Amino acid sequence: MATARSLRCAAFAAALATLGTACPAAAVTITLSCSALGTELELCREGAEAWAEATGNTVELVSTPNSATDRLALYQQMLASGASDIDVFVIDVIWPGILESHLVDLSGLVPQEDIDQHFPAIVDNNTVDGRLVALPWFIDAGLLYYRTDLLDAYGQTVPQTWAEMAEAAAAIQEGERAAGNAQFWGYVFQASAYEGLTCNALEWIDAYGGGLIGDDGRPTVDTPQAIAALEEAASWVGAIAPPGVLNYTEEESRGVWQAGNAAFMRNWPYAWALSQGEDSPIRGLVGVAALPRGEGEGAGHTGALGGAQLAVSRYSEHPVVAADLVRYLAGYEEQKRRAIAGSFNPTIMALYEDPEVLAANPFFGELFDTFTHAVARPSRITGARYNEVSSAVFSAVHAVLSGEAAAAEALADLNAELNRMSRGGRW
Ligand code: GLC
């Protein structure tokens, strides 16, 4: 009788021929690099082990740094040496253009009907020069977390603008400190000099109707909207946000928030399942909304688009088996399990209609537009140069937040730097 594995092997025959690999006769070991934000590593391990059990293969997991910037540096180092030690990489939504030359084209290795289940925009994002270099795994969008109990206690409502957020944060902070919690802060977010700060900054600027780089490739960051946005964010540091926020990534903000020491937090969806976990001191006291808007014409609610994809290394000795693991992890059942257990937003459209997924994560339905209209970082247009762009952005923004530079000057310099980098927008 044909096993599922041998059937899949037959289906991959064409791809096998081009890759010059034989159908795996014996079980192999696949090494998978997972990110480790919150529950990510544990969920990744459970999924990979379920696949290993079903297929008879073995998996080994490599955990990678939490900071997306550090993780990219590590991946680039590993891939540059052409080493075959890692078969499957979890890659950020902004990396296909940076890493594509090291990744296998999955289009011949994963059935088209599996690919078609995902949001087309993400499949598009992961397609570089006609090659599908990664399968979508989960979507992230920046969200505003708030304490429902504290908004009630202080007669506040969910803030619609950043100014309202700052006002509510200040009122709650003052009250909580007066009540004896000296460690309480109004707002925590990510302002360490890394990729996460680029996400936060893009959100502030987008909320005011500004942007980083236009569709024609030209930098657009020297605008009154961007200046207003950064001036506002800089005013939070040391006032409603701890000075230490300048070194915070996602997990440091969640630490303060989940200990019950913040009224508001900006974070990704993964923080929902953890905030509402059985051992969480704030369980049952958490609300989630779209991030506030700025002021003036063009202002709107916002959220940066993030998320992870699964890719197979070109240097893998087992690309076909590795692609099968990727297909499994990105598939319906596994995305459903991760959505329920860890509030990872599926990239499979049908899961947004799944009652169990929606019951575990009411905001998936309520904020559907936030996820489908999230603002993308300029990684498509800048391609392989994106990391350089982002580092220029987060360095400039970090200088403004830490009071080393005025917003107007820093943004004018940043615009000039991006212009130089791209020779006037020709990335
Ligand atoms: C999350 C997002 C990713 C982003 C990173 C920034 O992991 O999914 O897209 O680059 O945070 O810190």
Question: At 348, phi and psi to the nearest 5?
Answer: -90, 115
Atom of ligand 1 nearest to the CA of 37: 7
Listed as own residue / partner, the contacts of 355-361 with beta carbons closer than 8 Å and 24 or more positions apart are: 360/273, 361/269, 361/272, 361/273
* Residue 12 binned pLDDT confidence (cut-offs 50, 70, 90): very low
What is the tens place of the pLDDT at every residue in 311-326?
999 999 999 999 999 9
Q: At 344, is the secondary structure helix, strand, or coil? A: coil
Domain covering 143-304+377-422: architecture:
3-Layer(aba) Sandwich (3.40)
Q: At 29, is the secondary structure helix, strand, or coil? A: strand
Q: At 114, is the secondary structure helix, strand, or coil? A: helix
User: How are beta strands 127-128 and 131-132 bridged, if at all?
Assistant: antiparallel
The C-alpha atoms of residue 427 and residue 123 are separated, in whole angstroms, by: 22
pLDDT exceeds cutoff 50 at 356: yes
DSSP 150: H
What is the tens place of the pLDDT at every residue in 101-134?
999 999 999 999 999 999 999 999 999 999 999 9
Query: Assign residue 260 a region: left if phi > 0, alpha if psi is -120 to 50, beta otherwise?
Result: left
What separation in Å is there between the alpha carbon of 95 and the centre of ligand 1?
11
pTM here is: 0.94
pLDDT exceeds cutoff 50 at 18: no
Percent of the chain residues past pLDDT 90, beyond the cut: 92
Question: In the numeric block, which tokens belong to residue 366?
Answer: 């309520």
The C-alpha atoms of residue 217 and residue 191 are separated, in whole angstroms, by: 26
Mean of all residue pLDDT scores within the chain: 94
What is the tens place of the pLDDT at every residue in 363-386?
999 999 999 999 999 999 999 999
User: How are beta strands 88-92 and 29-34 bridged, if at all?
Assistant: parallel
Q: Which CATH class is domain 4-133+306-372?
A: alpha beta
What is the tens place of the pLDDT at every residue in 139-178?
999 999 999 999 999 999 999 999 999 999 999 999 999 9
What separation in Å is there between the alpha carbon of 25 and the centre of ligand 1?
38
195 lines ligand 1 (CB under 6 A): yes
User: Which residue carries 């019950």 as its tokens?
Assistant: 260
Q: Which amino acid is at 302?
A: T
pLDDT exceeds cutoff 80 at 16: no
Q: At 249, is the secondary structure helix, strand, or coil? A: coil
What separation in Å is there between the alpha carbon of 67 and the centre of ligand 1?
8
Mean per-residue pLDDT, 397-416:
98
What separation in Å is there between the alpha carbon of 271 and the centre of ligand 1?
13
The C-alpha atoms of residue 121 and residue 115 are separated, in whole angstroms, by: 12
What separation in Å is there between the alpha carbon of 307 and the centre of ligand 1?
6
68 lines ligand 1 (CB under 6 A): yes
Residue spans in the chain of domains classed CATH 3.40.190.10: 4-133+306-372, 143-304+377-422
The C-alpha atoms of residue 415 and residue 220 are separated, in whole angstroms, by: 7
Give the per-residue pLDDT at 25.
54
90 lines ligand 1 (CB under 6 A): no
Name the closest-CA residue to atom 2, ligand 1: 306
